[in-house]
Amino acid sequence: MLRTQTPSLRMDGNFHEEPAENVTIEGQHVTLRMSAGNMLKAAVVYFLGLDAAISVPLLIFIPWYLAVKLVYGVEVAKELTPLWVLGPPIIGFYIKLIQGLCSLYFFLFMQAARLIKDLPIYSALVSTYIAEGKLQAFLWALFWKPIIDIKNLDYRALFKQKFKQLEEWAVEKYLDFIELIWPCYCRTIRFLKKAHLI
């Protein structure tokens, strides 16, 4: 009896162990499927988070390349290499251009809405400027006063002043040039002039 019980226990033990191994293997398959599903979800979320200039050309050209390769063969896909290489950057450029135009239109729309919202304030400001005469004084100071100043200007005095400024500038440039050529000589001369020895 002892001999007959040990094999049955061993069989019972093996019988009970096999389902446990199957359960662990199935559990591993389930965890692998779940981790693969999580990785796929993470990849899709990352891909959707990419800029449209990257994701849209990939969504267009990868299926197109695979379809051409499957339907027409590898030779046709190799002949269309310039399309596969230059197509995505061109599409990305167009997408960026469209994004820029849309952002410009949105900015202009918001500025127009702000202007329309502030239009009563601007109209009240203009009406007060016109009623108090500030607009006429502003236009006179901005446009007419410079013309009158130019008419009343003493050209000889202005010419002498500008000539003197030009002469000072030329002397400074000449001294800079001399200092560039003979720095030690110029330093010595300046020192002697400051010491009142020359």
Residue 115 lies in a domain: no
Q: Mind listing the pLDDT tens digit of every residue in the chain (198 residues)?
A: 445 555 544 454 444 444 445 555 666 666 767 787 788 888 888 877 888 888 888 888 989 999 999 999 889 989 988 888 999 999 999 999 999 999 999 999 999 999 999 999 988 888 887 888 887 888 888 888 888 888 887 788 888 999 999 999 999 888 888 777 776 776 778 888 888 877
- Alpha-carbon torsion, ordered 190, 195, 197, 198, to 10 deg: 30
Distance CA 17, CA 93 (A): 62
* Together in a domain, 22 and 45: yes
Residues 160 and 174 reside in one and the same domain: yes
Range of the domain at 140: 125-152
- Asked if residue 87 belongs to a domain, the reply is no
Last residue of a domain, one of 49, 64, 89: 49
- The predicted pLDDT at position 30 comes to 65
**35 occurs within a structural domain:** yes
My answer on whether 19 and 42 are in the same domain is yes
DSSP structure string for 108-169: HHHHHHHHHHTHHHHHHHHHHHHHHTHHHHHHIIIIIHHHHHHHT--HHHHHHHHHHHHHHH
Tokens describing residue 85: 């290489």
Q: Is residue 16 part of a domain?
A: yes
| 146, 161: one domain | no
Instruction: Look at residue 26 in the predicted model and tell me its pLDDT.
Output: 63
DSSP class of residue 196? T
**Tally of domains in the chain:** 3
Rounded Cα distance, 59 and 95, in Å = 13
